Amino acid sequence: MAHDHDHHHDHPDHAHGSSLTPIEARVRALESLLLEKGYVQADALDALVEMYETRIGPHNGARVVARAWTDPAYRERLLADGTPAIAELGIGGRGGEHMVVVENTADSHNLVVCTLCSCYPWPVLGLPPVWYKAPPYRARAVLDPRGVLAEFGLTLPEATRITVWDSTAETRFMVLPLRPAGTESLSEAELAALVTRDSMIGTGQPLTPETAQ
């Protein structure tokens, strides 16, 4: 079955001679196979890609964090009951029905994992990173969270208390990271640009105005 697919996904990386990463190549090959076999239609695939690129992804979680950083009343609602507070921003759906938001402080840090499988808050964080689903992370995040964080480049003071939250199909967690210093004059949109996916999992910190440039 032939499919006219060229107009749906033009790939300038090929046109300019640049190579794909291994994971990009695998995704591209899988996409081509699904279309060639007729398992999916090009329009349906485009809609799915568009959904994860524009409507579902870590930019949603970043909006939530930025709102909490700038609106104390919203922050209280978010920490008290994450799901409806997140829904106030028009964010929700499968994988985000029962959200719990945990807050980092000056002396405490939170780390999210799913030890049994790879439950993940898709509506706010998008597609899970490969390492989140890997058995070594799932096991060691619980046994040696400080060591795991160090491997991600996040070395915390010994006095910092680390709490590991184990997501399930019923409850999924998201970290509210500490607001970076020196951001008092930034707008909500500018703050959202500092929020990284890893900072909402707990394996990283938000960017600073200097590192974001």
The response to whether 118 counts as a known ligand-binding position is yes
The response to whether 119 counts as a known ligand-binding position is yes
C-alpha gyration radius of the chain: 19
In whole angstroms, give the CA distance from residue 190 to residue 67: 11
The response to whether 19 counts as a known ligand-binding position is no
Active site amino acids: 114, 117-119
Closest CA to 40 of 73, 8, 74: 8
The response to whether 199 counts as a known ligand-binding position is no
Q: How far is CA 83 from CA 78, 179, 212, in A?
A: 8, 21, 29
* Location of structure tokens 């997501």: 167
Annotated binding site: 114, 117-119
Annotated binding site for Fe(3+): 114, 117-119
